[in-house]
Structure formats: structure tokens, C-alpha cells
Structure 1
Amino acid sequence: MLQYITSLFKKCSTLADVKQIHARVIRTGSTESKNLNLFVLGKIINFCAVSEHGDMGYAAKVFESARKPDGFLWNAMIRGFGNSGRRERAFEYYRRMRGAGVAADNFTFCFLLKASWHLGSVPLSRQLHCSTVKCGLDEHGFVRNGLVHMYGMIEDIEAAVRLFDEMPERNVVAWNTVLDCLVSCGRGGEALDVFADMMRGGGIGPDEATFVVMLSACSQVGALDYGRWLHDFINHADLSDVVPVCNALIDMYAKCGAVGEAYMVFADMSRKNRITWNTMILGLAMHGHSEDALKLFSRMLKDGFQEPDHVTFLGVLCACSHGGMVNEGKLYFESMRKDYHIEPTIRHYGCMVDMLGRAGFLEEAYELIRSMPIRCNAIVWRSLLCACRTHGNIELGEMVRKKLLHLEPDHSSDYVQLSGIHASVGQWNLVLNERRMMKDRGVEKPEPGYSFVGVDDINDGVVCSI
């Protein structure tokens, strides 16, 4: 009977299939056996927890029918709610699990650690760390990697690195975790240094995930030569046909300004997914190759390679903005909603405001903001303020400035932009007023940035390990 039920669950692809099996098992009275009952309930709950067609509401009802849930059932519920939009309930089940006298294991904490950083609660994350120590699981490989990742995601990178450094043995997953944390926290340069330590140590070689993270680090700091070296490394490692790695290469080359090299990687790929097309379209758009970006988008649609999504249209609208193609941009914006049923996000509206502002349609951009069904953020208002400065519209600039004072009153660029508008028409008294207000509020312009030039000793002790 157990083998038969297992074969049925393997054929399930929808929640309706699972419910049919559940009903059949109940009708035949097969759940009278305790072990079989737990097995069936576990299969149902696990499907709801991991499948995109799952329903944690149904899983909760099934769970409550278990007389004495075992650790697997508790973990499945914690995992399911941790992956859903109701992550607080994962901790509710953890508390119930402890109250029922069921011991937490490494799987329990891995699921909870993931849920905690998604919630973004620093106190909760630290309490969870304490719980892993009390249970003696803080040095378990999976749990320790989960702790490192958790601290990285709540941007306590010092704690993440400290936990990583304390690990007696580090596998490639551990290295990838700390590298990803550094990049996620904007410390791409440090990630390059840690990667060099990984390579000098020997014994642990990079895998696909390592290269994806390291290429992202190169994108972050503009390390084009380092990225090219990684590309050679990837070719030697026979990973040049791996789609996520190639996507990361396209993104790195595009963000570092080498759009031609990005397109060469794109053209050489035998397999492409939607991310591939989106990355290339956006890369072309961001560097002013608007017509090429739109041609690539048309090719994507014509050949039926992939269905466009909201990211695709960000690239398309960006291309229209940078190319001054206002009419085309309006048509694509309408097509996104009408033909593909994609609701615009604040970023899509931001692209439209930027496009209209660049072209001088300031009033139209202002009316678009006012008609938005979602609340406008400071970034979009600031885009319009910049356009007001470019086109010398003082009246609208003042109105936009008032909006920004409510949202982010101490952002230095807003004072600079408005004073620039007044300066453009010789209103020097108003320029002085803006500067004085900026000084009185203690607002200072940020320190100037710097460019990443290169990495010393890039080949020192590394190339020989290819």
C-alpha cells in the first residue's frame, strides 16, 4: 500500500491531484495505520510547502488532523510558511513544536534562519542564533552557513565574516555564502580579496555559483579586467555553456561598459532564458544603444523565444527614455498592460517620468505621477526635479521640491537641483536661500566617489590552479 501511494504522489502536479489522493486514502480507511497516516500527511504537507501550486492553508488543516506530528511534519510546516508571505507563522509553529516536546534539528533552523532574514528583524535573528547555540547546532555545516547568510542579509557583515572565519572546515558552499553576503552588502572589493584567499588556499575550487557571485562583484566595483580573467577561467573550467554563468558574464560586461563583449557572450549562447534576453536588452538600453535594444526586444517576441515580463519592459522603457522615443515608449507602456497583463510598478512609472522629463514634457510627467495608482517615491519626484532644472521650469520645480521636503527633507541633491534652477535664470538671492537652508539643516553633499582601477597580483598563485 505504501509503495502504491508513493507512486500516486509522484504523479501529482496540482493541489487538486493531491486532494484526490487524500480523499481516496480516507475513503479506503488506509489512514488507520499510524505510520501510514503520518507518511500520507507528510507527503501532502511537503507538496504544499515546496510546490508553487501548494496551499499552506490546506496544509495547516491537514496538519491539525495528525494525532502526534513527528519532526518531519513540523519542519514541513515551518518550511512552507517560511517560503510564503506569512513567515511569522513559521515561528508560531516552531514555538508549538517546542511546546509539544519535539526537538528541533538542523533542518528546522535552516528553514527558520531563511525566514528570519526575509522578515528583516535583527532581534529575532540574534535570538535564533542563540537558540542554535543552546541546541548545540550552531557548528553544524548547514546551520552555520545559514547563520552566515542570515547576518549578511540583515547587513551585519562583521558578524557574518566572524562566523565564517570560525568555521574549522569550509566547503565551497561556505565560501559562496560569505562571498554572496559581501556582494549583497555592497562590498564587492572585499569579495574579490576573499575569493583570492579561497584560490590561494587550494583544495576548494569555485563552482557555478562562485562565478555568478564573483562576476556580480566585478560589476559592482567596475573591475573589467578581473571579469575578463574570470571569463577565461570559466572557459577553462568548461562552464561556458552554463546559462546562469553566461547571464552573469553579460551583466558584468554591460555594467562595466563593454557592451560589445556582452553581446558576443549573448550571441555565442546556444541556450538562452528570459533573464538572458532581459540582461542584454537592459545593457544595450543603459548605454544608449536604444535602437539595438528595441530590435532585440522585437526579435525576442517575433521568434517566440521567451514571454516578456516586468523586467523586460523596464529595459524597453529605459531604451525609449535614453533614445528620446516618447511615442514608442507610450505604446510599449500601454502594451505592457493591455497585451501582457503586466501591472506597472514604481520603476516602470519612474522610467516613463524620466522619458517625458528628458524630452521636455514636464507637465505630462507631473500629471502621470498624480494619476499613478501607487504612491510615488522620492526617486521619481527627484527625476522630475532634475528635468525641471534641465528645462528651466522654476514653477514646477518649486512644486516638486515641496513634495520632496515631505518625503526626504535632508537629501542634499534636492537643494543643489533647485538652486541650479534658480541660478539658470539669474535668481541669485534664491540660490543663496537654498544654500543657507542647506547649511542651517546640517545637510552636506556626500563625499565624491572613486573608480576601481585594478587588482594587484590577480594571477598570483591562481592561474596555476585552473
Structure 2
Amino acid sequence: MISTYLNVIKPSLKHKLISFKPKLNFLNHFSSCPHDKTYSKLEQTYFSTFKKCYTKKHVTQLHAHVVQTGFSQNLFIVGKIVMFCAMSNECLMDYAVSVFDSVRSPDGFLWNTMIRGFCKKNDVKKVFGYYKLMGQNGENVDNFTLSFLVKASGEYGSVLLGRQVHCCVLKCGFEWHVHVRNTLVHMYGMVNEVWVARKLFDEMLEPDLVAWNTVIDCYVCCGEYKEGLELFSRMQAVGVRPDDATLSVVLSACAALGDLELGRWVHSIVSQSPLIKDVSIVNSLIHMYTKCGEIQEALTIFGKLTDKNIVTYNTVILGLAAHGHVQEALDVFSLMINRNHTPPNDVTLLGVLTACSHGGMINKGRKYFNKMTAEYDIKPTIKHYGCMVDMLSRAGLVNEAYDLVQNMPMKCNAIVLRTLLAGCRVHGNIELAENVKQVLLEVDPDHSSDFVLLANTYASLEDWNQVSRVRRSMTAKGVQKPSPGNSLVGLL
């Protein structure tokens, strides 16, 4: 691959990189001896030039010059190339592999960078493959190696793999390294082993802000919002000041619990600090207020924000749609597209279709659904199809909804089918309800609500014989209702 790029560069460009400056027309005049002063000068020139590389084309051209001038085994320069490939948005790991394989004696930094790149690409097999090769080549692991392995295990979602890496951490003596332990806490949160994450956190003598943020985030991501907020209170009690990451997670917990009082307290803190200009924090505030039903406060914050991004618009559109402010949601979408020229994504269209469904705007819903692929180049997901089925079922167009389900490019799930079955019940379409029930039996055969919905459809038409038949079928199949709910009235 290297020779290919060398051949691509024309003779007229041999002493000059066409994509960026500074000019390197003096490269071939330098000696390649590491002890020569010109060698060090050229090395520094390469380092400064790497800062101006932004694309694969830049790096491949510079790499060609590196090979031509005898620097292909310089670990510092080659490390820069591999780092660029591993950390770029494109994640150019194929090219990184070709560069890495050309190095005769890679150091620990190069091995770690390769592992880091495959971790970013979520290629767990390659991550642990290079880890194994690293050991076979006699290179010792360090805290960076283990942190990348722990992170890869968490993102892969494997508890077993995470525990095995944890054992490696203990064997290598890095269990008390701050960064490694924080990564372990995060990993156990990602695999829903929050009790282990908490145990690791509690063993820290003086956890830093990152550790507090990590363990709070673990609880919130695992749905244990109250415990997360209790940790936040404890964090304040010991004198650790929150940052933007802390407050974002706390606002997420407030949104999930509907804790408007604590959310407003966080808002008061943010308003008195430079964080009020942080778009991610403001987005979290908007999300919290919409979840708590305070739409006007959310819109006030939205109106004051000058640097709105796609997340800002999506949060407002979804919040308005969820609370039945249909026209306002569509107005925000129109503002986003026409005035601010912000291209929508799949989440935006999900909010728009939800608004159309709640507002009974069938024609607009069809129009936006068709625009997804034709105009916005967005591939509809199962959620978008679910919104369309819900919208058509609400309007009584259950046959059209059924046709849509049959023509979906992906396998339909039980949620969409139950939405359609509920529409059949409301509009008394027995024949279609029986068809949908048969499809549901293949997808999720033992769900009691499907039998109940079908029985209720017959009951709405006072066909009690069929109601009895469905009930008997439910008993014969051994399908039972889940444990009943209960309520507790607390006396003040």
C-alpha cells in the first residue's frame, strides 16, 4: 500500500505536499542519519506538519514522504500516523494496520494506539487479538492498555469478558490506578452490574470528580435514578463541586423522575455560571422541563439560546409532540429547516411523525414519511413505521396500516403489531384483528394482552361466544396475566 501512494505522487509534486503547508521542498536534501542535526530538524518539521493534516489524503501523502526520507521506522512519526488513523472520524484502521505492519519493532504506544482504534471501531475481536499479539511480542501492558480493554468489554456488553479483563487488571497490579478503576466502574455500569460498580467506587479513599460522575452516571443509565440523586447529594456533602457532566446526568434523572424542584435548583446553579452558554447543559434543561410538563419554561430557554444544534431542536419537537402541542412542534421543525437550515435526522422525523399522529394529521404524516428518503435521505427505522401504524390506526385506516406492516423492509416487532391490534379493537375490524393476532402468535406467543385485546374486540360487538372462545384458548395455552399492580396511599 505504501508503494502505491509513492507511485501516485507525480514528479512535479515530489518535493511539495499539494494539500497543505508548509512546503517540504527541502526534504530530499536532508540526511537520514539520526545523529545529524538536519535529521532532528526534519523530524520537527514532520511533527508541525501533522497538525495540519485533516484528511486521509493529507496523511497518505505525508506518509509517502516519510518513507522516501527514511523515517519509516521512526516510532514517533509513525505513531503520529497511526494515531491519526485510529482517532479520525473515519477510523482508518485498515490503513493503520498497513502502517503498523511495516514497523519492525513497535513500542507500547503503537500497540496501545492500535487497540484504541479498534476499540473506537467497536471491533472487539481485533482489540483482544492485538492484545494477545502484544503479549506474544514481549511488550508489557500498562494502564492505557487495560483501560482500552475494559472499555471495549463494556461497549460489547459482555459481563463475562469484563470480569476476565478485571482479573487481568488485578494480576497486573493496576486495580488502584485512578483511570483504570474509573473505567472499571463505567464498564460495570454499562453491563448493568451497578452493584459491582458501587463496590469499586466505595473502596476509593478519596474519589475525584470523574469517579463521582462515573458512578452517578451508572445509576442513571441503569434506571436507578433515586440512588443516583442520593449520590449527588453525598457528593455535595463531601465538598466535591459538580461540573457540566455531573449536572447533565442529574438533569436526566430529574427528567425521568419528574423531580421539577431539584431540576429548578440545578437551573438556578447553571444560570449563575458560564455553563448557561453550554449548549449540552441547556439541552438537558429543555429536556427536563418538557419531561416535567413545563413546556413554557422549556420554550423560554429555547428562545434565548443562540447556538442551537440538532439535539436542541429534536428535544423541543419531541417534547411538544408528547404533550399534544402538535402545531407548535411542526412550527419548530419548519423553523429548523427553512430559517436555520439545520438538516434533520431520524430523531427529528420521529418527533414530527409523533406530532402528526397525535394531531390526526394523516396527509402531513404521509408527506413527511415519504420525504424521509426522497428529500432528507434518512432511512426509516422500526420506530418510524410504528408511528405511521399508530397514526393510521387512530384514524381508522387499519387496512392501510396492515399493508404498511406487510411491506416493511425489516421484521415487524410485537409493539407495532399490538398498536395495530388495538386499532382494530377501537374500530371493530374483527377479520383484520384475527389476522394480526396470528402474526403476533409467531412473534410473541405467550403475551396475555394480545388475547385480551382480541377478546375485547369481540366484546365491543357483543359477540360473547367469540369472547368465550378466546378466553378458553388463553387458558388452554397456559397464558396468564402478569402479576397485578398495586398502589400505596401514604398518609401525611
Could you say if the C-alpha distance between residues 131 and 78 of structure 1 is closer, same or farther in structure 2, counting changes exceeding 3 Å?
Answer: same
Distance (whole Å) between structure 1 residues aligned to residue 259 and residue 116 of structure 2: 38
1:174 is the counterpart of 2:208: no
1:379 is the counterpart of 2:415: yes
Q: One-letter code of the match for 2:439?
A: K
Q: Is the 8 A contact 2:122 2:152 kept in 1?
A: no
Report the secondary structure of 2:275's partner residue: coil
Moved more, 388-397 or 429-438: 429-438
Q: Is the 8 A contact 1:317 1:348 kept in 2?
A: yes
Q: Is the 8 A contact 2:392 2:401 kept in 1?
A: yes
1:216 is the counterpart of 2:257: no
Distance (whole Å) between structure 1 residues aligned to residue 173 and residue 408 of structure 2: 52
Distance (whole Å) between structure 1 residues aligned to residue 234 and residue 489 of structure 2: 20
Distance (whole Å) between structure 1 residues aligned to residue 84 and residue 311 of structure 2: 27
TM (norm. structure 1) is 0.92
Q: Is the 8 A contact 1:222 1:451 kept in 2?
A: no
Q: Is the 8 A contact 2:122 2:156 kept in 1?
A: no
Partner of 1:296: 332
Partner of 2:353: 317
Partner of 1:369: 405
Q: Is the 8 A contact 1:294 1:319 kept in 2?
A: yes
Could you say if the C-alpha distance between residues 148 and 435 of structure 1 is closer, same or farther in structure 2, counting changes exceeding 3 Å?
Answer: farther
Partner of 1:17: 58
Larger radius of gyration between Structure 1 and Structure 2: 2
Q: How does 1:167-316 map to 2 (within 5 A)?
A: 167-202=204-239, 204-316=240-352
Could you say if the C-alpha distance between residues 430 and 398 of structure 1 is closer, same or farther in structure 2, counting changes exceeding 3 Å?
Answer: same
Q: One-letter code of the match for 1:400?
A: V
Distance (whole Å) between structure 2 residues aligned to residue 360 and residue 177 of structure 1: 48
Q: Is the 8 A contact 2:317 2:329 kept in 1?
A: yes
Distance (whole Å) between structure 2 residues aligned to residue 282 and residue 450 of structure 1: 30
Q: Is the 8 A contact 1:223 1:452 kept in 2?
A: no
Distance (whole Å) between structure 1 residues aligned to residue 192 and residue 488 of structure 2: 23
Q: Is the 8 A contact 1:155 1:185 kept in 2?
A: yes
Taking only aligned residues, the RMSD between alpha carbons, in angstroms, comes to: 2.0
1:141 is the counterpart of 2:141: no
Report the secondary structure of 1:30's partner residue: coil
Partner of 1:419: 455
Distance (whole Å) between structure 2 residues aligned to residue 446 and residue 347 of structure 1: 28
Report the secondary structure of 1:102's partner residue: coil
Distance (whole Å) between structure 2 residues aligned to residue 427 and residue 40 of structure 1: 80
Q: Is the 8 A contact 2:115 2:145 kept in 1?
A: yes
**Per-residue deviation at 1:124?**
0.6
Q: One-letter code of the match for 1:29?
A: G
Q: Is the 8 A contact 2:251 2:288 kept in 1?
A: yes
Report the secondary structure of 1:410's partner residue: coil
Distance (whole Å) between structure 1 residues aligned to residue 471 and residue 316 of structure 2: 42
**Per-residue deviation at 1:296?**
0.8
Q: Is the 8 A contact 1:49 1:80 kept in 2?
A: yes
Distance (whole Å) between structure 1 residues aligned to residue 465 and residue 190 of structure 2: 47
Moved more, 354-363 or 427-436: 427-436
Structure 1 segments unaligned to the other structure (5+ residues): 454-466
Distance (whole Å) between structure 2 residues aligned to residue 389 and residue 235 of structure 1: 50
Could you say if the C-alpha distance between residues 289 and 107 of structure 1 is closer, same or farther in structure 2, counting changes exceeding 3 Å?
Answer: same
Partner of 2:93: 56
Distance (whole Å) between structure 2 residues aligned to residue 452 and residue 322 of structure 1: 32
Partner of 2:67: 26
Q: Is the 8 A contact 2:71 2:77 kept in 1?
A: no
TM (norm. structure 2) is 0.87
* Higher relative contact order (Cα pairs below 8 Å, separated by 6+ residues): 1
Distance (whole Å) between structure 2 residues aligned to residue 359 and residue 224 of structure 1: 35
Moved more, 320-329 or 105-114: 105-114
Q: Is the 8 A contact 1:413 1:445 kept in 2?
A: no
**Aligned partner of 1:359 among 395, 404, 411:** 395
**Per-residue deviation at 1:54?**
3.3
Percent identity reads 50
Q: Is the 8 A contact 1:82 1:90 kept in 2?
A: yes
**Per-residue deviation at 1:20?**
0.4
Q: Is the 8 A contact 1:254 1:283 kept in 2?
A: yes
Structure 2 segments unaligned to the other structure (5+ residues): 1-41
Partner of 2:482: 445
